[in-house]
């Protein structure tokens, strides 16, 4: 089993994780609309809280993915300056 992975491979894994979280966001947004339409405000509040967490996770994951993807680009830009 290969334990070493390149930064690009790690970046791709993070991008995949962001896609997975995005599918959860779509699922819970649909549930949120249903809860809102049925005037279930407790459920609406709960789903909004979950969605906020998912959006925060997605943002953090994407930040990490881009940092890994562009890690060596930063060094190249510094050399060119």
Convert the pLDDT of each residue in 30-49 to its tens digit: 999 999 999 999 999 999 99
DSSP letters of 23-70?
A: HHHHHHHHHHHHHHHTT-HHHHHHHHHHHHHHHHHHHHHHHHHHHHHT
- CA 50 from centroid of its chain's CA atoms: 13
Say yes or no to pLDDT of 79 above 50: no
In this prediction, what percent of the chain has a pLDDT beyond 90?
A: 74
- What confidence tier does 81 reach under pLDDT thresholds 50, 70, 90? very low
**pTM (two decimals):** 0.79
């Amino acid at each position: 089993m290969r334990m070493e992975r390149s930064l690009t491979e790690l970046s791709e894994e993070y991008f995949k994780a962001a896609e997975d979280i995005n599918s959860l966001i779509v699922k819970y947004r649909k549930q949120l609309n249903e809860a809102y339409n049925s005037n279930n405000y407790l459920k609406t509040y709960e789903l909004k809280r979950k969605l906020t967490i998912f959006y925060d996770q997605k943002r953090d994951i994407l930040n990490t993915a881009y940092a890994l993807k562009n890690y060596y680009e930063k060094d190249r830009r510094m050399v060119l300056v």
